[in-house]
Structure 1
Amino acid sequence: MLIGEVARRSGVSARMLRHYDALGLVRPTGRTTGGYREYSAEDVRRIFHVESLRSLGLSLKQIGRALEDPAFTPAALVSDLIRWTEDRLERERELLERLHAIDASAPAGWQDVLRVVELMQGLNSTSAARRQQTVLAGPDSGSAPAELLAGAVLTESDPNVAGALRWALARSGGDGMATLAAGVRSQDVAVRRRAVIAIAGMPEAPGTTAALADVLADPDATVRGHAALALGRRGVSAAVPALVRMVVEGLNDVDAAEVLGTLSQDPARADRILTALADELARPTADSASRIRITQALLELPGTTARDTLRRLAHDDDPAVALIASAFSGVLDDRSREAREGEDG
């Protein structure tokens, strides 16, 4: 076949075929009487071999070695190709993220683009001080892309920089929830913790409550705890079981007890919370420390029911529980008396 026919059948341009010939990669085995290149069936097969190896990312020099050197083994080269490809994909992924961040900022001109690029470069600095300075000295409220800030929150390990990022995200006026919601589903527990703390600190907006509720069953107690406290402060009843467990297990138990007290201002929830705490007190497996924390939590609950429970606990078999319950029962009695005197006055 002449070069034009080979080009049509193989999809390789005549110009590239001449280049292969010049390199000695695929040389036609014959010539016509007029001096034109004439390719045999074996030559065409070699062209397809070359194109197959090119599709894997091999250079023409590497392809020549692979086809000519019997001792040339693919294992090491393929490993190198995998590494180079992974590096290239990572660079392209980072480029795509930068482009998305710029697009999300809706730049009005190239100065806006340059400001966002400067922000990204600062956030990628190896210096925590520079990253924090970049956030605090960043664009005015509403100018920093929320998705960029949310992504930085998920990767930031320095607590001071992370706090600055959460502050900037909360005041950005944008919507970084898609990124944060993906963070709470991460396999990396550190990322989930950063995500839930950031969501908990954001203004109540569509998606935040749902994202927090989704992690109430998270296997990590810290993630569950942050979500439960945030939901409880927003008046979400679904947080009650997790808050009670926090009291029992001693994980931010003081904060959890305060939130349970606030939720108990609603009579419909007060009985449920008291019952949950009483059930934990009655568990045979409950140790002394847990029962003391539960007793302390009862002080936060309003109404006479908690006071009655404390009075019963004042006679508990555990001396420490009985002592604390007796003291707290007296505190609640004093509160009730002061409230009555205030009404009479």
Structure 2
Amino acid sequence: MNSTHGTAQDPRLVDALGAGDSSVRLQAALAAGTRPDGGLVDVLVERCAVEPDFFVRDMLTWALTRLPAEVTVPRLREELRSGRAQARSQALHTLSKIGDRGVWPAITRSLLHDADDEVARSAWRAAVVLVPAGEEQGLAVDLAAQFGRGDRHVQLSLSRALVTLGDVIEPVLRAGVASADPVVRAHARATQRLLLDPDAGWEPAVDEAKRIVALGADGVRRADR
């Protein structure tokens, strides 16, 4: 493939990034980051979209963060519209690592509510890093609308993202705790406890929240005393 950015690609490095052996791909990604070359931006981004190994993906992200933001950010923004879930997820992850707040308009509501859990989780993490001052409340509302989504891993990701926003999330937590849906109530209450005591741990917070929800309104009143 011909790159549209920077200098000519090293064909040996390009081949190594697509090698069958994950250790070879890892070394190639390390080499790409050690000797940053804008000519590799397309290859690195496209490899992120299909790379099956977590550690290689992480190294690819690092390699991309070593390139100038004016080269990587426009290309990563293009990936946010990709039909491949991993492409969207990895682009979001890399953008969160770059930290360019000018990307915020590209973190759309459709990404925050993406049907693919990994894309949504990456969008949540990117959003709380990139959200401009004054827009945290609106983001909190958007995130809290997904209380009860997914398994414990997904719910923990959502709670951690919300807690990152700080005390601004208190109104949406109160609304969640008052929900008619017991799963939403338990998730909101667990998030509430995580906000109050980040060191308490997620599993105990979830278990305690479920116990309180199971007890009903009387149990909530007793627990809050």
User: What's the TM-score once normalised by structure 1's chain length?
Assistant: 0.49
Alpha carbons of 1:127 and 1:325: their partners in 2 closer, same or farther (altered >3 Å)?
A: farther
Q: How does 1:1-345 map to 2 (within 5 A)?
A: 94=1, 97-98=2-3, 100=4, 104-106=5-7, 113=8, 116-138=10-32, 140-143=34-37, 145-174=40-69, 175-200=71-96, 202-205=97-100, 207-213=102-108, 215-236=111-132, 237=136, 238-249=138-149, 250=152, 252-265=154-167, 270=168, 273-284=169-180, 286-287=181-182, 289-301=183-195, 318-319=214-215, 329=224
Q: Distance in 1 between matches of 2:21 and 2:43?
A: 18
Q: Is the 8 A contact 1:225 1:246 kept in 2?
A: no
Q: Distance in 2 between matches of 1:262 and 1:162?
A: 25
1:243-300 CA-to-partner distances (Å, cap 9, x unmatched) read 32444325533343344234234xxxx3xx333233333333x12x432221121224
Q: Report the number of matched residues.
A: 202
Cα 1:189/1:277, change in 2 over 3 Å: same
Q: What CA RMSD, in Å, does the superposition of the two structures yield over aligned residues?
A: 3.2
Runs (4 or more) in structure 1 with deviation over 6 Å come to: none
Aligned-residue offset at 1:178: 2.8
Q: Which amino acid aligns with 2:173?
A: L
Give, in angstroms, the shift of residue 325 of structure 1.
Answer: 7.5
Kindly state the Cα deviation for residue 217 of structure 1 after the two structures are TM-superposed: 3.9
Alpha-carbon separation, structure 1, partners of 2:194 and 2:218: 17
Does structure 2 conserve the Cα–Cα contact (< 8 Å) formed by 1:196 and 1:226? yes
1:50 corresponding residue in structure 2: none
Tell me if the contact between 2:76 and 2:95 (Cα under 8 Å) persists in the aligned partners: yes
Partners of 1:248 and 1:280 within 8 A in 2:
no
Identity of aligned residues (%): 19
Which amino acid in 2 is paired with 1:135? A
Aligned residue identity for 1:209: W
Partners of 2:156 and 2:58 lie apart in 1 by: 23
* Structure 2 letter corresponding to 1:220: D
> Which string of whole-angstrom CA distances, capped at 9 and with x for unpartnered residues, describes residues 103-128 of structure 1?
x333xxxxxx5x62222121122222
The normalised TM-score by structure 2 is: 0.71
Q: Which runs of 5+ in 2 are unaligned?
A: 197-208
Cα distance change on mapping 1:194 and 1:147 into 2, 3 Å? same
Q: Is the partner of 2:36 in helix, strand or coil?
A: coil
How much does 1:155 deviate? 2.4
Tell me, in whole angstroms, the C-alpha distance in 1 between the residues paired with 2:163 and 2:217.
20
3-state DSSP of counterpart to 2:23: helix
Inter-CA distance 168–224: structure 2 relative to 1 (3 Å threshold): same
Question: Could you say which structure has the larger radius of gyration?
Answer: 1
Distance change >3 Å, CA 138–CA 262, structure 1 → 2: closer
Secondary structure of the 2:174 match is helix
Structure 1 residues 206-265: Cα deviation after superposition (integer angstroms, max 9, x where no partner): 643232236224333432232122212344524313432444325533343344234234
Letter in 2 for 1:296: A
Going from structure 1 to structure 2, the CA distance change for 1:129 and 1:322 (only over 3 Å counts) comes to: farther
Contact 2:16/2:25 (CA < 8 Å) preserved in 1?
yes
